[in-house]
Amino acid sequence: MEDNIKKELVQKVREKVMSQFSLKDFSDELLQDKISELIGLETKNIYLTIEEQVQLSDRVFSSIRGFGILDSIMSNDDISEVMINGPENIFIEEKGKLRKIKESFESEKRLEDIIQRIVGQSGREVNQANPIVDTRLPDGSRVNVVLPPISLSGPIVTIRKFSKTPMTMKQLLKYGSITEEVAEVLRRLVEAKYNIFVCGGTGSGKTTFLNALSNYIPKEERIITIEDSAELQIVGIDNLVSMETRNANATGTGEITIRDLIKSSLRMRPERIIVGEVRGAEALDMLQAMNTGHDGSLSTGHANSTEDMLSRLETMVLQGAAGLPLDAIRQQIASAVDIIIHLSRLRDHSRKTMEISEVLGYENGKIILNPIYQFIEDENSSLEHVSGKLTRTQNKFRNVHKLQLAGLDTKI
């Protein structure tokens, strides 16, 4: 059966169900039965395989109780990202490759209904007065929505899918993102409560790496996580508090920012604070927390290199305190951040750890970085495939004080 005929059939059966039955009285099982019955009547003169019948039934059900064609997309574990540019143009990233799919939403109104259902589930609002919102799906997938008139091509939905299994260092080792030697070094740095920033471009795996790092946090500690929309999957820690921001409501009140949550977390006796991503004025609060006894804090930020991360932090701090002298800001960054890890998505779509540097301090108006590991390509690299590994530099690791306090091996 052709796609356009299937689409018309799904729409016809959906309209019949909606007009003939009071859905609030129907359980999911009863609704499925009624849909199958109607599909059988509508297609009695058409040959359909059992698989096609089940597929049509699922599409009608998800258009009523689910998220329409999104349900089948989200159930595919190979798909990592979904980009909906209006009802007709849907793109997916599958196994690192971006492509457009044939399926589309029945109408712009139908897409808007699904958006309202997604946003409503997490207690948020999106409308013409508040046309941009970040939220999440029930499985934890991150969702960004932009509505007209801000978007000129209809409602825009971007979904970063949530991994069903929390990322671990073992998996990063399997993917070749790090080496066993580096994994052991990172374990000691996390246990010894070094303040670590993970940086990289969009889609480089910052949150994934942060999840893996968090597995090294001792299980008896009290952890506070702060995010725009909750994505971190920290397992094995009982004393865990997860908080997420909230947008302003239709009247412009009720907004809770990352800055608000960081300030609040300091009163909650945290042993570590994990901020999913620092992107604005909250950088100042994060640095102050790191400088006031909350060692072992972890965070991520958008940057193209370890040096770029320092510049971005300066800019972000200035957003929150425009009057601060640049010298004071740089001293604050140098004393707060211990380690910067830079990730990148390379030309063959693989995600690699490119550099691990320690922050040595502030001298002559400049923050001094000491690269400890750097990714070096080997002779097997080509235009289509990147081959190489994180290699220990000749630089001595100098900031051993926290390792000594924790009673851990200082040889890195």
Q: Calculate the alpha carbon distances from 234 to 63, 172, 207, 215 in Å.
A: 33, 16, 11, 7
Nearest to 59 by CA among 70, 50, 44: 70
Tokens of 366: 């400049």
Q: What is the four-CA torsion angle of 321, 326, 332, 335, rounded to 10 degrees? A: 160
Residue 228 above 90 pLDDT? no
What's the full length of the chain, in residues? Answer: 412
Angle between the N-to-C axes of helices 306-320 and 326-336, in degrees from 0 to 180, rounded to the nearest 10: 120
174-186: pLDDT as tens digits: 888 889 999 999 9
385, amino acid identity:
H
**Mean pLDDT value across residues 194-199:** 96
Domain annotation for the chain: domains and CATH numbers: 1-65 (no CATH), 69-162 (3.30.450.370), 169-405 (3.40.50.300)
Measure the CA–CA gap between 238 and 221, rounded to whole angstroms.
Answer: 8
pLDDT at 369: 97
Nearest to 45 by CA among 9, 72, 93: 9
- Chain centre distance of CA 260: 21
- Strand 223-227 and strand 272-275: pairing? parallel
Angle between the N-to-C axes of helices 258-265 and 282-291, in degrees from 0 to 180, rounded to the nearest 10: 20
Percentage of residues of the chain with pLDDT beyond 70: 99
Measure the CA–CA gap between 173 and 91, rounded to whole angstroms.
Answer: 30
Return the higher-pLDDT residue of 29 and 89: 89
Nearest to 276 by CA among 231, 311, 319: 231
Percentage of residues of the chain with pLDDT beyond 90: 46
Neighbours of 304 (CB within 10 A): 16
**Mean pLDDT value across residues 300-314:** 95
Residue 384, judged by CB atoms within 10 A of its CB (0-12, 13-18, 19+), counts as exposed
Measure the CA–CA gap between 60 and 45, rounded to whole angstroms.
Answer: 20
Give the DSSP H or E segment for 366. strand 366-377
**pLDDT interval class at 305 (50, 70, 90):** very high
Tokens of 249: 């409501």
Tokens of 63: 């258009």
Residue entry with tokens 């010298």: 327
**pLDDT interval class at 333 (50, 70, 90):** very high
Q: Of the ranges 120-124, 282-286, 352-356, which one carries the lowest mean pLDDT score?
A: 120-124
pLDDT at 331: 94
Residue 335 above 80 pLDDT? yes
**pLDDT interval class at 219 (50, 70, 90):** very high
Positions of E strands within 33-155: 79-85, 89-94, 97-100, 132-136, 142-146
Measure the CA–CA gap between 242 and 230, rounded to whole angstroms.
Answer: 8
pLDDT at 110: 83
pLDDT at 182: 95
Lateral strand order in the sheet of 79-85 = 97-100, 89-94, 79-85, 156-160, 142-146, 132-136
Sorted by sequence, the CB contacts under 8 Å of residue 248 that are 6+ apart come out as: 130, 254, 255
Residue 1 above 80 pLDDT? no
What is the DSSP code string of 30-54? Answer: HHHHHHHHHHHHHTTTS---HHHHH
Residue 68 above 70 pLDDT? yes
Residue entry with tokens 């010894």: 192
pLDDT at 367: 95
